[in-house]
């Protein structure tokens, strides 16, 4: 079913919308739709109920041929979002952006200088922006570099974390800046974490994560996706049982047992029985079933923060902790394994904003905090 929401209409102003119908190539014109889905984390500890918008392809599809194109892709997508503040791409546009970004990446791969600097063809963001892939720039004073702080990790190996911004600190700043107002326009960040890039769009009533690699959503997914974190998003902690990483349509998920203060035991029993799989033996009164309930971790748009921590960062952090406990030395420096970057983007013509206006919008200490973190990393 197609979504008639104005957020997914095609903008008729060609100056504001770079992705016109003519750019869709031979694909059938498709609007697409938001779907309520349930996704379980790879470690099986939590699950999320969220609205998901899927492209037809992702960067690894043969139509895109963008195996390591994530940096060029986020630049192309961020540029589109900056030119279309009140819109999100429809399905055909999303597909087109994936092909465009992958093409830009292949063009960069033809540059001998870039190939020498990046033999794996995984270009950094600075290189992509310098190549003028799009008229996009990063504003350092509104960007953040910080680190995840693994629990129980202390000692000289982690001295660089002292005084550095944590992921929680960064999220507080992003949330606070959105709450204080940004002229009614959305904020678009390019996020770098664990050798991958994705886009974070910040609005008053929702956060959006846009990722061009389907496998990041769940194992076996081959479609790029947009996640919408709004008031209806919920993350649950699952009972301590073996879980597999999978996603199911919203209408085919297990019932979450919710205990209302005025509900009777009968209502609780009905909800518990709905959660049982078909074919489960029915026991008698002498052999009662105890079903551990799923715990609500968080609700609302701030679930985006918990998603990044529990879905994207949980396993890499646990692997790092295991390596440290075993005394293993890795080829990747510790700060690289913990570092996360939020690059605030603007169109180049928007950079004429005065320093006085910047200081009115952002605390003077923020750029200093970012610089201090960079110095810690470089030493």
pLDDT tens track, the chain, 379 positions: 444 444 554 443 433 344 333 444 445 689 999 999 999 999 899 999 999 999 999 999 999 999 999 999 999 999 999 999 889 999 999 999 999 999 999 999 999 999 999 999 999 999 999 999 899 999 999 999 998 877 766 655 666 677 789 999 999 999 988 766 556 689 999 999 988 999 999 999 999 999 999 999 999 999 999 999 999 999 999 997 544 444 444 444 433 333 333 344 444 444 444 444 444 444 445 555 545 688 999 999 999 999 999 999 888 888 877 777 777 666 567 777 889 999 999 999 876 553 445 545 554 444 433 433 333 333 3
Can you point out the beta strands (E) in 126-195?
136-138, 144-147, 187-193
In a domain, 96, yes or no: yes
Say which residues have a Cβ less than 8 Å from residue 272's Cβ, sequence separation at least 6: 257, 289, 291
Asked if residue 265 belongs to a domain, the reply is no
111 inside domain: yes
Is residue 9, in this structure, part of any structural domain at all? no
Q: Is 7 inside any structural domain? A: no
Name 173's Cβ contacts closer than 8 Å, sequence gap at least 6. Answer: 144, 366
User: How many domains is the chain built from?
Assistant: 1
Give 273's contacts (C-beta < 8 A, 6+ positions apart): none
Query: Is residue 79 included in any domain, yes or no?
Result: yes
Which tokens go with 350? 């928007």
For residue 48, the number of C-alpha atoms closer than 13 Å in the C-beta half-sphere is: 30
Q: Which domain holds residue 104?
A: 21-253+293-378
What does 76-95 look like in DSSP terms, one character per residue? HHHHHHHH-TT----HHHHH
Phi, psi of 148 (to 5 degrees): -75, 145
Residue 64 forms part of a structural domain: yes
Task: With respect to residue 349, please indicate whether it lies within any of the assigned structural domains.
Answer: yes
């Amino acid at each position: 079913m197609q979504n008639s929401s104005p957020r997914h209409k095609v903008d008729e102003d060609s100056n504001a919308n770079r992705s016109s119908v003519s750019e869709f190539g031979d694909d059938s014109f498709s609007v697409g739709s938001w779907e309520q889905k349930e996704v379980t984390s790879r470690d099986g500890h939590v699950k999320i109920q969220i609205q998901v918008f899927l492209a037809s392809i992702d960067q690894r599809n043969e139509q895109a041929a963008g195996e390591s194109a994530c940096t060029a892709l986020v630049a192309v997508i961020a540029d589109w979002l900056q030119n279309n503040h009140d819109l999100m791409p429809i399905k055909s546009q999303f597909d087109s952006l994936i092909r465009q970004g992958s093409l830009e990446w292949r063009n960069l791969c033809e540059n001998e200088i870039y190939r020498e600097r990046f033999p794996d063809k995984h270009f950094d963001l600075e290189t992509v922006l310098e190549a003028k892939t799009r008229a996009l720039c990063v504003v350092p004073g509104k960007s953040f570099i910080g680190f995840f702080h693994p629990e129980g990790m202390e000692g000289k190996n982690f001295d660089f974390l002292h005084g550095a911004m944590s992921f929680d600190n960064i999220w507080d700043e992003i949330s606070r800046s959105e709450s204080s107002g940004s002229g009614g326009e959305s904020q678009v960040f390019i996020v770098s974490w664990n050798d991958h890039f994705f886009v974070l769009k910040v609005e008053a009533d929702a956060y959006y994560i846009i990722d061009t690699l389907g496998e990041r959503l769940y194992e076996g997914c081959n479609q790029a996706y947009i996640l919408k974190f709004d008031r209806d998003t919920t993350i649950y902690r699952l009972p301590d049982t073996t879980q597999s990483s999978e996603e199911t349509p919203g209408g085919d998920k297990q019932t979450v047992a919710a205990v209302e203060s005025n509900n009777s035991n009968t209502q609780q029993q009905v909800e518990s029985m709905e959660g049982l799989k078909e074919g489960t033996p029915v026991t008698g009164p002498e052999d009662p079933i105890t079903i551990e309930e799923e715990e609500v971790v968080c609700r609302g748009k701030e679930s985006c923060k918990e998603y990044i921590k529990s879905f994207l960062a949980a396993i890499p952090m646990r692997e790092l902790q295991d390596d440290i406990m075993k005394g293993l030395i890795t080829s990747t420096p510790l700060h690289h394994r913990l570092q996360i970057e939020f690059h605030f983007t603007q169109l180049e013509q928007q950079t004429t904003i005065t320093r006085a206006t910047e200081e009115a919008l952002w605390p003077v200490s923020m750029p200093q905090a970012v610089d201090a973190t960079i110095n810690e990393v470089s030493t």
